[in-house]
Amino acid sequence: MSRKQYISQLKKSIENLSKWESSGKAFGHLENLKKKNKPDRLYEFYCYIRIIEDLRNKYDVELIESTNGKIFPQAPASKKGWAKFILRDQKTGNILFQVCFGTNIKISKSPKTTFAADISFQKPDATEDPEEKDVVLIMDAKYKTKNTTPLEINIIREFAKCIDDFGVLNSDTIELNFNKLKDLKGNCLLTNDNAIEDHRQYCKNNKLKQVEGFDCDGRIYKIVG
C-alpha cells in the first residue's frame, strides 16, 4: 500500500470528524500535495494523520475547520485561520490538547524567531499566536527519497535545540494517551529513514526520540533515544 493510499484510507476512517464532510473536502490538502509533487510534505501530513488516527481511540477528536479556505498549510504558517484537531476527554468533553500542523511558534525572549514543528501538541487554551508557554510536545518528520541512510546529527541537534527553546524537555511525562503508538509519547523525530544508533545517549540526554521506519511499507518502526 502506498503512502497516498494509506492516507486516503485514514481519511475515510475519520471523515465523521470533519465539518466539511458533506463537501468531501476534509482532506483536500492531499490533492493539493499531489499537484505540487512535494513528497516531503506528503510524508509530514501522513505522520500527522496517522497520529490523530491512533489518538481517536483514547479521545473524542474534533476537526476545527479553517477560516481561510485552504484547510492545512503546505509550508510553515501562522496558526490563525488554519485547521487543527482538538482532543477532548471522552467522559467530560473538556478540551485537553490542540494538535496543530506546521504552526509557527514564537520564542518569547526572541519573538521574531519562530520554529514550525510539523506536529505540535498545545495546551487547551493556547492562543492563535502561540509561544513556548502554549506548547507541551513537538514532533518533526524527516522524509528521505531513498530510505537507506541515517538521519544526520545536525538534524538531531537542531531538534534538540528547539526542545530546549520551547521548554518541553519533560514532554514524556504529560498525560497524553496513545493507543498503539504508546512509545511515541515524547518529542519525536519521525522518519521513513534510519536512525543513528550511535547517538542514542545524546537523544536520551536531550529528551528526544528518533523514530526509524515510521511509514506504511510494512516495517515495524524502531525507537532510538
Q: Would you kindly state where each structural domain of the chain is located, as residue ranges?
A: 3-224
Q: What is the pLDDT of residue 41?
A: 80
The confidence band for 93, taking pLDDT boundaries of 50, 70 and 90, is very high
How would you class 91 by CB atoms within 10 Å of its CB: exposed for 0-12, middle for 13-18, buried for 19 or more?
A: exposed
The tens digit of pLDDT for each residue in 110-119 reads 988 999 999 9
Compute the distance between CA of residue 154 and CA of residue 133 in angstroms, rounded to an integer: 26
Q: Give yes or no for a contact between 70 and 27, defined as CB atoms under 8 angstroms apart.
A: no
Q: What is the pLDDT of residue 42?
A: 82
Nearest residue to 216 via CA among 67, 30, 10, 29 = 10
Q: What is the pLDDT of residue 23?
A: 42
How would you class 51 by CB atoms within 10 Å of its CB: exposed for 0-12, middle for 13-18, buried for 19 or more?
A: buried
Q: Give yes or no for a contact between 33 and 17, defined as CB atoms under 8 angstroms apart.
A: no
Q: What is the pLDDT of residue 2?
A: 65
Locate all alpha helices (DSSP H) within 97-173, ordered by sequence: 153-166
Average pLDDT, the chain: 85
Compute the distance between CA of residue 222 and CA of residue 45 in angstroms, rounded to an integer: 20
The confidence band for 147, taking pLDDT boundaries of 50, 70 and 90, is low
Give the phi and the psi of residue 186 in degrees, each rounded to 5.
Answer: 135, 175
Q: What is the rounded average pLDDT of the residues 144-154?
A: 81
Pairing between β-strand 84-88 and β-strand 95-107 as defined by DSSP bridges? antiparallel
Q: What is the pLDDT of residue 4?
A: 61
Q: What is the pLDDT of residue 27?
A: 47
Nearest residue to 109 via CA among 132, 78, 130, 129 = 132
